[in-house]
Amino acid sequence: MRSNKRILVAILTLLFVFLTACNSATEESIADMDNENTEPTQKINEESPKVDSPNNTDTDNNNDADSSSEEVSTPSESTPTTTEDSSTVSLVSAKDEYLEKLQDTKKELDALEAEGSATYALKKVEDDKWEAWDTLLNEVYGVLQEQLSTEEMDELRAEQRGWIQYRDETALEASSKYKGGTQEHLEYVAVLAVLTEERCFELVEEYMR
């Protein structure tokens, strides 16, 4: 009987030791598993770079855009800026321009005075007037060629031929009073100048735009 008890005690002791060892092994395994699950998470949190949230990125970009737009819109102090008021710009038609030009020419030519009372000096003044008005007449005629239609220009061309004939005949008739005298040429050129002046104003006022 005693031997049986000893055997039973020995078996129970071995069983207790075995169970104790199993529990220790189980606890160590659980602890290792917990450590393995915890360490990677910590490493990921420590090693992962800091990433700004989308909201922070948009805010930074907006701030950068605002600052850059302010820099672009701010003019350089060394660069002069000019402004032009469109309301001060006036459009002058060719007609207004030439009417003013004719008026200025008339004032200048009317102010011409002969150097002395000799017929030669008087003729020089009238020749200058006639030459100035004839030059302006050709200039006005050239502008009208650009402005008028082909049909309108054909009509004006025929009218101009008739006017030239009228001008020459009128000047010749006026100078015939002094035929053979020193005043003949003077009168002829004076009439040419007057009629050409009138024709310049007539063409600008009636045909030019």
Find the CATH number of the domain harbouring 118: 1.20.1270
Domain check: are 114 and 199 in the same one?
A: yes
Provide the pLDDT for residue 20. Answer: 63
- Residues 111 and 83: their CA atoms lie apart, in Å, by 42
Domain check: are 107 and 200 in the same one?
A: yes
- Residues 194 and 176: their CA atoms lie apart, in Å, by 17
Q: What is the pLDDT of residues 28-67, one digit of tens each?
A: 544 454 444 444 444 434 444 444 444 444 444 444 444 4
Domain check: are 99 and 176 in the same one?
A: yes
Domain check: are 101 and 153 in the same one?
A: yes
Q: Which of 41, 73, 105 is the last residue of a domain?
A: 73
Domain check: are 62 and 107 in the same one?
A: no
Identify the sign of the CA torsion 102, 144, 154, 135.
positive
Section 130-143 average pLDDT: 97
- Residues 122 and 183: their CA atoms lie apart, in Å, by 10
Domain check: are 108 and 46 in the same one?
A: no
Q: Where in the sequence is the domain holding 155, given as residue range(s)? A: 94-207
The count of structural domains within the chain is: 2
Q: What is the pLDDT of residues 177-193, one digit of tens each?
A: 999 898 999 999 999 99
Domain check: are 53 and 119 in the same one?
A: no
DSSP 118: S
Within-domain flag for 159: yes
Q: How would you classify residue 203: left for phi > 0, otherwise alpha for psi between -120 and 50, otherwise beta? A: alpha
Which has more confidence, 43 or 113? 113
Provide the pLDDT for residue 204. Answer: 97
| Neighbour count for residue 94 (Cβ, 10 Å) | 15
Domain check: are 197 and 122 in the same one?
A: yes
- Residues 196 and 160: their CA atoms lie apart, in Å, by 11
